[in-house]
Amino acid sequence: MPKMGNATAKAALGRSTWHFLHTMTLRFPDQPTKLESETLRTFFLNFAQLYPCGECAHHFQQLLKELPPQVGSRKSASLWLCALHNEVNKSLGKDEFPCDQLDSTYDCGCGDDPNAAKNATSTAP
């Protein structure tokens, strides 16, 4: 017998995933290298294929076609993701989030880690 969906678990997965994604784009460099930009673009394209909620993944893939990842800077990436999340919010009847409040809402708790960008693209173990 097919397993029933669980709206509570789906919402909890969504909340924690959004938290991670927004925190990640807000830690993206102001002036990324080509490799960093390409890594972020590829991340989102792969993420959209692998997100565990199939309906959500399909929705996200459609949104990516309309609003392709903006990977030129921290500002463009974080505002792009905010707009995308707002599109999901709209489709679910949720309020629009004010994107000028991103910086005051998300804190990775990692301080000013000077190696954040380097670690993100390093191939070292």
Interacting residue ranges for ligand FAD, rule: CB under 6 A? 11, 14-15, 17-18, 22, 51, 55-56, 59-60, 82, 85-86, 88-89, 92, 94, 97, 102
Cβ-based nearer residue to ligand FAD, 45 or 88: 88
Q: Is residue 13 a contact partner of residue 52, using CB atoms and an 8 Å limit? A: yes
User: Nearer to ligand FAD by C-beta: 76 or 89?
Assistant: 89
**Which residue's CB is nearer to ligand FAD, number 18 or number 43?**
18
Structural contact between residues 88 and 63, judged by C-beta atoms closer than 8 angstroms: yes
Q: How far apart are CA 93 and CA 124, in angstroms?
A: 44
| Measured distance CA(48)–CA(87) in Å, rounded | 15
Q: How far is the CB of 74 from ligand FAD (least distance, A)?
A: 14
Q: Give the residue with the Cβ less far from ligand FAD, 5 or 33.
A: 5
How many residues does the structure list for the chain? 125
CB 10 within 8 A of CB 94: no
| Minimum CB–partner distance for residue 25 and ligand FAD (Å) | 10
